[in-house]
């Protein structure tokens, strides 16, 4: 899950909030909200006080976007961020949080597969009966 240096340049490259937002597919408002919610550690700033994101920051933001996209509640994301900041001693707790979330995602995938079967059945039914009436 590493950020490619081709995407942002050398490791010392620092991105503006707009550049980071574009790279991870979020709005600048969402990035700032993530920071306010404690999902993102305070981001470094340049001499003018503007946020400057590193490759590691972008990698973290990509993880957060995937967690949200898979339906992880913000409270769980916040808990994960808190645990991650505490270091290696919280690895088991972080794994358990991800395992619980994985179980929810797998359950949701199963439900979506069942829903897709119904949709496919209905589409097939309409295709077979078009022109018969």
What is the C-alpha to C-alpha distance for residues 86 and 15, in angstroms, rounded to an integer?
A: 26
> Which SS3 state, helix, strand or coil, does residue 51 take?
strand
Q: Tally DSSP H helices, then E strands, for the chain.
A: 6, 0
For tokens 């409270």, the residue is: 75
Contact 44, 51 (CB under 8 A): yes
The backbone torsions φ and ψ at residue 51, rounded to the nearest 5 degrees and listed phi first, read -60, 140
Residue written as token pair 């088991």? 92
Of 111, 106, 130, 104, which is closest to residue 119 (Cα–Cα)?
A: 111
Structure tokens at 122: 């209905």
pLDDT tens digits, 9-37? 655 678 999 999 999 999 999 998 999 99
Reported as a single tens digit per residue, the pLDDT across 44-87 is 888 898 889 999 999 999 999 999 999 999 999 999 999 999 99
């Amino acid at each position: 899950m590493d950020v490619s240096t081709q995407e942002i340049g050398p490791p010392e490259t620092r991105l503006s909030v707009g550049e980071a937002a574009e790279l991870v597919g979020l709005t600048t408002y969402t990035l700032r909200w993530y920071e306010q919610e404690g999902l993102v550690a305070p981001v470094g700033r340049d001499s003018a006080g503007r946020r400057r994101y590193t490759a590691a920051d972008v990698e973290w933001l990509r993880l957060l976007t995937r967690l949200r996209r898979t339906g992880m509640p913000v409270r769980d994301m916040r808990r994960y961020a808190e645990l991650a900041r505490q270091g290696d001693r919280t690895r088991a707790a972080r794994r358990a949080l991800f395992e619980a979330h994985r179980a929810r995602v797998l359950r949701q995938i199963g439900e979506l597969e069942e829903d897709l079967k119904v949709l496919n059945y209905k589409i097939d039914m309409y295709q077979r009966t078009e022109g018969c009436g």
